[in-house]
Amino acid sequence: MLRACTRVGGAGAGGCGRRERLMASLIPFLPPSPYSTHLPRQPQSQPPTAATQPAAAARPSRFRLLFARAAAQRQRDSEPAPAAEERRSLAVRTGELFLGLAALLLRGTGAERSGGAAVEEMEARDGVVWEQRPQDVDAERRRRELTSPGFSFSAAGLLFPYHLGAAQCLMDRGYITETTPLAGSSAGAIICAVIASGNTMQDALQVTKVLADNCRSKGTAFRLGAVLKDVLVEFLPDDLHIRCNGRIRVAITQLSWRPRALLVDQFDSKEDVINAVITSSFIPGYLAPRPATFFRNRLGIDGGLTLFMPPTSAAETVRICAFPASRLGLQDIGISPDCNPENRASPRQLFNWALEPAADETLDKLYELGYLDAAVWAEQNYAELIAKNDQSLVAD
Q: What's the sign of the alpha-carbon dihedral 185, 191, 193, 196?
A: negative
Q: Is residue 62 part of a domain?
A: no
Q: Strand 317-320 and strand 150-153: pairing? A: parallel
Classify residue 215: in a domain, yes or no.
yes
Tens-place pLDDT, residues 77-100: 444 443 433 445 555 565 556 556
Grade residue 267 by pLDDT with cuts at 50, 70 and 90.
Answer: very high
Q: Is residue 275's pLDDT more than 80?
A: yes
The one catalytic residue in 185, 197, 281, 302 is 302
- Which of helix, strand or coil describes residue 219? coil
3-state helix, strand, coil in the chain (%, to 5): 55, 10, 35
Identify whether 186 is a catalytic site residue: yes
Whole-number pLDDT of residue 5: 42
Mean pLDDT of the chain: 74
What is the domain range of residue 264?
91-107+126-388
- Residue 263 falls within a domain, yes or no? yes
Domain containing 170 — which CATH number? 3.40.1090
**Could you report the per-residue pLDDT of 177-230, keeping only the tens digit for each?**
999 999 999 999 999 999 999 999 999 999 999 999 998 988 887 888 899 999
Our CA dihedral for 238, 239, 244, 245, rounded to 10 degrees, sits at: 130
What would the pLDDT profile of 279-315 be if each residue is shown by its tens digit?
999 988 788 888 889 999 889 999 988 889 999 988 8
For the chain, what is the radius of gyration of the CA atoms? 33
SS3 174: coil
Residues 6+ apart with CB under 8 A from 18: 48, 52, 55, 56
142: number of Cβ within 10 Å: 9
Total domains in the chain come to: 1
Q: What is the pTM of this model?
A: 0.68
For every residue of 275-290, DSSP letters joined together read: HHHHHHT--BTTTBSS
Pairing between β-strand 298-301 and β-strand 293-295 as defined by DSSP bridges: antiparallel
pLDDT tens by residue, 230-261: 999 999 999 999 999 989 999 999 987 788 88
Cβ(189)–Cβ(276) below 8 Å: yes
Query: Per the domain annotation, does 60 fall within a domain?
Result: no
In a domain, residue 9? The reply is no
The answer on pLDDT for 8 being more than 80 is no
* Residue 145 CB coordination number (10 Å): 10
Per-residue CA distances from 75 to 28, 64, 80, 392 (Å): 18, 16, 10, 72
The dihedral through the CA atoms of 297, 301, 307, 311 has a sign that is positive
Q: What is the pLDDT of residue 222?
A: 82
Active-site hit among 25, 152, 185, 186: 186
Q: Is residue 370 part of a domain?
A: yes
Residue 366 inside a domain? The answer is: yes
Based on the residue annotation, tell me whether 281 is a catalytic residue of this protein. Answer: no
CA dist., res. 236 & res. 198, Å (int): 9
| Strand ranges, E, within the chain | 129-131, 150-153, 182-185, 248-254, 260-264, 293-295, 298-301, 317-320
15 found inside a domain: no
